[in-house]
Structure 1
């Protein structure tokens, strides 16, 4: 027997999924940022592109985006019985590996070119997620559009960092010199 859920049941389901997805997405983003952060001598010594916003912007934007991503995922997850629901959430999970990997690759490994490939994967896979979320719940897809715009900007910014620092950045940004005294011969 198939019955439709009441509006109250749908709101409760969305609220429960929101209480799961929003903190999860925010936590994963926070952990990723802690694994490889911008507070390194290497990053400080890089030439910054003209399009590089003030550092405080990144925390604010990502905080808002993580909440929107969590809400979009909750909208999809709460759409019980909707065609494509499981596929949309599965593709999102595969997609989200990319953005989470970018920070450790760029800042931790200091691999700007590999990080650009990671962002390329992230943007392309996000396009699929937006379409799949949109098919399940229109507003879920709409909520991801600012994320798509920011991810695209991040890819352009990453590319600009490579253009401004073609050698990958300074080899010894701290200026420390290692000396060994082997004694007189």
Structure 2
């Protein structure tokens, strides 16, 4: 029998891997952009997002195990997948369109979905909601960073 954590983990991994399909031209475009001086932790960002994805998947697992298969749980699982899709879309879409504004909108959308999801999950499991806290904290930081880069790179807004 396939366990729920296996399905949740597989879906999360597939979405993240699909989001990793970025063009070299887009990566070169992004790498040449100026960064804010306060952005001293850029090398840690992949590690930070890995932890955030793991926490979100764990949160989804807790929600599923508390109320497996009912319609509200299915809607919440859909919201988890939407959150991951939006978050994962940030890099390939922004790179393809070469637009920091698009990245800011995608980041802001993800932050909003993350907050809504954390609030909706709270009555089901406080732990599941708390596991979304890294996303709720970090996503606005990433969104602000992208927004601040517009000021430094107005031609790439």
TM over 0.5: yes
Q: Secondary structure at the match of 1:167?
A: helix
Q: Post-superposition shift, 1:137?
A: 1.2
Deviating runs (4+, > 4 A) in structure 1? 36-39
TM-score normalised by structure 2 residue count: 0.85
What are structure 2's unaligned runs of at least 5 residues?
none
Give the number of equivalent residue pairs.
Answer: 156
Alignment check: 8 A CA contact 2:4 2:64 kept: yes
Q: Residue 173 of structure 1 aligns with which residue? A: none
Alignment check: 8 A CA contact 1:119 1:151 kept: yes
Q: Secondary structure at the match of 2:154?
A: coil
Alignment check: 8 A CA contact 2:15 2:85 kept: no
The reply to whether residue 113 of structure 1 matches residue 96 of structure 2 is no
Instruction: Give the Cα separation in 2 of the matches to 1:125 and 1:94.
Output: 8
Q: Residue 93 of structure 1 aligns with which residue? A: 81
Alignment check: 8 A CA contact 1:37 1:107 kept: no
After superposing the two structures, state which structure 1 stretch, 23-32 or 98-107, moved more: 23-32
* Greater helix proportion: 2
Q: Residue 124 of structure 2 aligns with which residue? A: 136
Matching of residues 20-35 of structure 1 within 5 Å: 20-35=7-22
RMSD: 2.6
